[in-house]
Every structure is written in structure tokens, then in C-alpha cells.
Structure 1
Amino acid sequence: MRVGFVEWPENLIADSEQWVQLADDLSKVKLDILVTNELPFGPWIASVPDFDPEAAEFSLACHRAGLEALKGLNIPAIISSRPVWEGQRLANEAFSLEGGRVKHLHTKQYFPAEPGWHESNWYATQSRDFEPAVVAGVSVGVLLCTEVMFNEHARHYRKQGAELIVVPRATGIPVHDFLTAGAMAAIVSGCYVVSPNRVGEGPNGPTFGGKGFACGPNGELIGMTSPENPLVVIDLDIASVKEHQKGYPCYVTERI
């Protein structure tokens, strides 16, 4: 099972020259699953503190066009996220794309509130879903960016039979905290953890740091993107997942 993950540029527009080059690069690599960074198309609207319905609609339009562009890739399964309306705010929905069909996977529930990442002013949800779904024959759990900081959800995914946890991100230059959180998510779940990231800077900031990464079921770093290698591919060994999930600390249960 070959899984690719990326660092895609800020303000990526479907059918732009940037997109054509990325799509051409992807056409040269055989993948079973592609995992993109969080909200990969259009500008990062949460860099501005005040919610703007017109900017929200523009983000929706960018991602609608982006979804059509993703459908044009010759990849069996793609995991990404997109904005959708929920009440008076947007929700950040992770989804899979297989055979031209979109399937809901998860809705983001943890939102930063600080310069560059005013997400709590832009996004909200009533959803409380942290349930894995089968994508290309693999049981996948999603933790959108900040959610990886909360290990209880990685443990929950393991208990529900997950084999791969994907963590699409839009994070800054420092990567240490997210590498640590991703490694811990792998250790406590016994799953592979794959975390793509945005890269570059928008007109209102912040600067996104790239460095998408993958951890093996033991928490070991097994791959990282860079400007020279914005697409990295790993091979999943599901038998290794099953073995790690039998061992420490995965088997440990809470006694109250």
C-alpha cells in the first residue's frame, strides 16, 4: 500500500501553472492513497481575525474547483479537507475521494485562536465524530492539524481498528511540537501517522513551514517533505501495525 503526502503551496489554485506542475509530478508516481495538507486550495482565510462571508465564499469556490482538479488525478484514493457551511460559520471537513465519489470522514473540532490562525472565529461545528473509515482498503482515522495534540483521539482510533492516522496541517515554521505529537499518536495507536503541511506565505501571513512527515507504528520518523522533495511516498506494512497494536503501550487499558 503506497501512500503519498505533500507540502503544497499557499494559495494553490486549481488549473494554475503551479497546479499543472504538481499534477504532472503526481502522474509519474504510482500511489494508492494521496494525502494533502489541510484546506489545500485558495488563500488561508483564517489569517484575518474577523469573519468575512465573502472571503468564506471565495474559499468555498476555490475548494469546489480544487475538488474537480483532484478528480482529474489518476490516483485511486485521495484524502483532503474542505470548507463547508455549517450555520453562520464554516466547518472544516475531512473527506476521501474514491472513484469520483466524495465521502465524509471527519469534521475539525479543535481551533487555534492566535495571530495567523484565527480559526475559532471562522470555523465551528456541532460534530463530535472521531470514527475511522475504510479508504482504499485501509482503516483511516483523521486528526486535522491541532487535533493531533490530543492523544486520547489517537488511542480511540486504535481501539476502533484504525491502521493509518492522517494529520493534514497548515502550520508554521517550527515543527518540533507537531513531530512530537505525531510520534506520540503513532506510539499510542500503533498506526502509521502521515501529516502533510502547507508551505509559503500569504499577503496577511503567516508563514507556513512545510515539512510534512510520516511516522511508523513505533513512532519512528520515516519520511519528511522538503522544497526539493514536496512529495514523499511510504509503503504501509499493515502486518507491522497489527503487531505493534498488540504491544506496549497499545494494549494498556484504563482502570477506574
Structure 2
Amino acid sequence: MQFGRMPHSAGNIRINRFPLHSGHRPLLSDSDWFSLPAGPYRLHPLLPCCPPKDPPMRATVCELPHLPALLDPAWAALCAHTRAERSELVLLPEFAFIEPVWETLPMDPARWDAAVALSDAWQQRLHELGADCVAGARPVTVGGRRFNEGFAWSLQGGYVPLRRKFHLPDEPGGWEAHWFERGDAAFPRFDAGPLAFGLNICSELWALETYGDYAAQGGVQAILSPRATAAATTAKWLAVGTVAAVRTGAFSLSSNRVDAAAGTYGGAGWVISPDGVLLARTTPEQPFCTVDVDLQAVTDAQATYPRYVFSATQVQPPTQA
């Protein structure tokens, strides 16, 4: 844009609306100029235009018991926490609120139906958290078939099915393959507001090949993992959560069931940064943790080691003859 002071417009600066090309001066009429009040004016060099940075997302992970005598006060405390912390995303444990039916055989249709009904009832209370989005995994029956279904819930959109758990344990204490069927083999990207995420339900954290798939899809900012895992194996789960974060360059978020009396489920929800830093971990003393998930940090991390090594756009070094 050309700036100039016109001699017949004393006391005013007049600014040309049109660019002047080198060696060419266009014919201008008075309508081609507009006036500013008298100066003096100081012209500053143009600054590069930077895209606005995505604001961080307030995300909460937790550990929750299922026994009603413990769950009711824990839920009230979680709701108080998420509202005080202004949580935007709350991740619940796997099959939150219901008894761990998969621990025993034979599969009992009546117990399954009761678990589905109880999950339906708790679904009506998710608004109490005051969050924009609530994610987790719950029992569903679809067309007479039983599944472990990941979901996202929002006040605006209600309940949205995501994907159904595919990798199912089948051993004493974890007879999942007897209680529900395999679901979706694919691990797509999902979006909740500004957050793009993948969903690996509990054992599916060990599906290491999915991390390369997420990286290839691009834009995945978090891996959400509702869990029901034992206290004795917490170190292993933290290790694979760290691998998930570092391999994809995304945040790893997980919430777990807790059963302090029996020790069957060990809590330890976590938030791990794209570079593998443990940002938060729940404990019996602090069963809920809320952190700012810096979405810009994901963009930066995915351009660094080891992520770029597996990128299709990586520049290969020259081959020596």
C-alpha cells in the first residue's frame, strides 16, 4: 500500500486505496483516497502474520470406585472438582459405576442387563460434571449382541458412540471375551471440540501398531484410555502410556477404576505429555487431576524425534556410492 502526503490536503494524510506498481502511477480521483486527521504519524515495519495459538484444553482424569457406598461421595467430590477447575474434558474409567461382571464365569445375561441399565441411569447424570465433553467406555447391547463401547457425551450432542473394544482378555479374573464380543478393529481419529483424539480402551493400549496409524492419520492430539487395571501392574501401564505419548507425539490420558480394599483395581489415572513427561497421576489422596493440555505442544512434538523418523515426508539422506 502506498502512503503519501497530498499538497492540496493541508494538515491531512491521504492514503491510496490501491497499490502502486513499480514505474507506474495510476490515475487517481478524490474517491480513490481517504483522509486521516493531522499527524505526525510514525510508520512501523510490517510484522509477520502469525496464526493464533490454540488455547489449552482443561482435561480431568480420575480414579473411581464402583461400590455405591464409596461411589456416591466420590462422584460428588469429582463433580465439585471439575466445576471448580472448569474442566472441558473429563475421562471416566472403563465401565465406571458398575460391578466388574467380567471377573467371573459363566456369563450371566441378567447381570449384564443390570449393568447396562445402571450405565443408562448414570448417563443421565453426566451433566453434573459441568464439562463440555465426557468420555469413557460402557456396556451396551445392540441387536442382541453385547459390546464394550467407547463414547463421548456432551450437553449439546448427548451420547455419541465412538468405537467398540476389539482386543479382549480371556483369563481368570478377566473373562471379557465371554462377556462381550469383539467390536471395531479400526482405530480412527475422533474430534471433540478443538481436540482430535484416538480411543484405546484398556488392553488396547498394548496395540502398539495403532500409534503409527495415528501418526499417519495426522492431527491426533491425545490418546484416551479408560482402564480397569490392577494395582500390581501399574508400572507396566504407565510404561505403555508413555510409549503411546512419545510414539505419536500426543498426550496420553487415562482414568482407572479403584478398589482399595481388594486391590483388584489400582487407580493411577494419568496425563503424560507428548515427550513422555508424567504431568499428573491420581492417588488415593488426590483421586482427580486436571491439567492444561497444550494443543500447540502436539504440533511442535510431532515434528521432532522420534516422530519424524516414521513420517512419509521425511527427507532421506543421500546414498553413498
Partner of 1:58: 114
Which amino acid counterpart does residue 259 of structure 2 have in structure 1?
G
Q: Within 5 A, what are the aligned runs for 1:151-162?
A: 151-160=208-217, 161-162=219-220
2:161 match: secondary structure: strand
Work out whether residues 89 and 132 of structure 2, in 8 Å CA contact, stay in contact via their aligned partners in 1.
yes
Separation in 1, partners of 2:76, 2:245: 34
1:95 match: secondary structure: strand
Return the offset for 1:223: 0.9
Partner of 2:301: 244
1:152-206 deviations in Å (ceiling 9; x for gaps): 112212222210111110000121111111000111100000011100168xx67
- Is the aligned partner of 1:213 residue 2:270? yes
Greater Cα shift, 24-33 or 134-143: 24-33
Q: 1:201 to 1:115 in 2, by over 3 A?
A: farther
Separation in 1, partners of 2:184, 2:268: 29
Return the offset for 1:18: 4.2
- Is the aligned partner of 1:189 residue 2:245? no
Aligned counterpart for 1:115 among listed residues 172, 176, 190: 172
- Structure 2: runs of 5+ lacking an equivalent: 1-56, 313-321
Separation in 2, partners of 1:18, 1:215: 24
**Larger C-alpha radius of gyration, 1 or 2?**
2
Work out whether residues 165 and 183 of structure 2, in 8 Å CA contact, stay in contact via their aligned partners in 1.
no
Separation in 2, partners of 1:81, 1:13: 22
1:218-244 deviations in Å (ceiling 9; x for gaps): 112111000111110111111111111
TM (normalized to structure 1)?
0.91
TM (normalized to structure 2)?
0.74
Work out whether residues 227 and 257 of structure 2, in 8 Å CA contact, stay in contact via their aligned partners in 1.
yes
Work out whether residues 140 and 163 of structure 1, in 8 Å CA contact, stay in contact via their aligned partners in 2.
yes
- Structure 1: runs of 5+ lacking an equivalent: none
1:35-74 deviations in Å (ceiling 9; x for gaps): 1111101111101121110010011011001101113331
Choose between structure 1 and 2 for higher RCO, CA contacts under 8 A separated by at least 6 residues. Answer: 1
Return the offset for 1:123: 1.5
1:108-152 deviations in Å (ceiling 9; x for gaps): 111112222111111213422311111121101110001001211
- Number of residues of Structure 1 aligned to a counterpart in Structure 2: 253
Which amino acid counterpart does residue 57 of structure 1 have in structure 2?
D
Question: After the TM superposition, which parts of structure 1 deviate over 6 Å for at least 4 consecutive aligned residues?
Answer: none
Which amino acid counterpart does residue 258 of structure 2 have in structure 1?
V
Partner of 2:101: 45
1:20-44 deviations in Å (ceiling 9; x for gaps): 3432333322111011111101111
Partner of 1:4: 60
Which amino acid counterpart does residue 241 of structure 2 have in structure 1?
G
Return the offset for 1:88: 5.1
- Is the aligned partner of 1:74 residue 2:133? no
Q: 1:245 to 1:67 in 2, by over 3 A?
A: same
Q: Percent identity between the aligned chains?
A: 28
- Is the aligned partner of 1:171 residue 2:209? no
Return the offset for 1:82: 1.1
Separation in 1, partners of 2:268, 2:60: 14
Greater Cα shift, 121-130 or 238-247: 121-130
Which amino acid counterpart does residue 246 of structure 2 have in structure 1?
I
Which amino acid counterpart does residue 239 of structure 2 have in structure 1?
T
Separation in 2, partners of 1:37, 1:58: 19
Partner of 2:26: none
Separation in 2, partners of 1:19, 1:143: 24
Return the offset for 1:213: 1.2
Q: 1:118 to 1:219 in 2, by over 3 A?
A: same
Which amino acid counterpart does residue 202 of structure 2 have in structure 1?
C
Partner of 2:186: 129
Which amino acid counterpart does residue 214 of structure 1 have in structure 2?
V
Work out whether residues 152 and 159 of structure 2, in 8 Å CA contact, stay in contact via their aligned partners in 1.
yes
